[in-house]
Structure 1
Amino acid sequence: MSADPEAIERYYEYVDREAYDELFDLFADDVTYRRPGQEPIEGIDEFRRFYREVRTIERGTHAVDELIDDGETIAARGRFDGTLDGQQVEFGFVDVHRFNDDGEIESRWTYTDTGRV
């Protein structure tokens, strides 16, 4: 596996710009996305649907304070400032991304200090 810190930086740029086609290119077809208290999102089609139709964050920006890279997994710790369910919010997050041998993100976990994503 080959973790790519630049891919993680691009992920946040793409999600903040809602550049979803570019964002989806970072992920493997068999991606799994886990969030506390939610059923896993499995496969790129379900992942695309989540970002385009389900995700409750409407607009905002991510500021990454730290990236931790162990060679196959990158954890990003930061803050989000934006709109969630029509309300202005600011919260901390930790996202964990595991890469496959092709350099694609195959697993993603999100944790926030709000308990929601």
Structure 2
Amino acid sequence: MKHSGSCHCGKVAIEVEGQIDSVLSCNCSMCQRKGALLWFVPRERLQVIRGEGELATYTFNRHVIRHHFCPTCGIHPFGEGTGPDGAAMAAINARCLEGVELDTLPIHHYDGRSL
């Protein structure tokens, strides 16, 4: 299934291929503040349709996740990093996807604050 999404102003638009079975809620200092519900996919399943050159990027702590956001509206549609297996992955903010019923998805809580 293909999912479309964007930042709030629409300057950054994405498409992601896959089935959303669950999302992750992380309590690290970044995720806690932005309230993202994350869906992890292999990076090749994410396509930036519009605005890739417009994205701003923020890293912190160990600087292993690149948190991408729109510099106009400030919304974080996705981040990029490396999964435990060493493969490139994308962390999609499910709140930025169109037509996803978040209330129907299981939420796994992750203690990122402890890292």
Instruction: Answer 1 or 2: higher relative contact order, Cα 8 Å, separation at least 6.
Output: 2
Tell me which protein shows more strand as a share of its residues: 1
Q: Which structure has the highest helix share of the two?
A: 1
Query: Common fold, TM-score beyond 0.5?
Result: no
Question: Normalization by structure 2: what TM-score?
Answer: 0.30
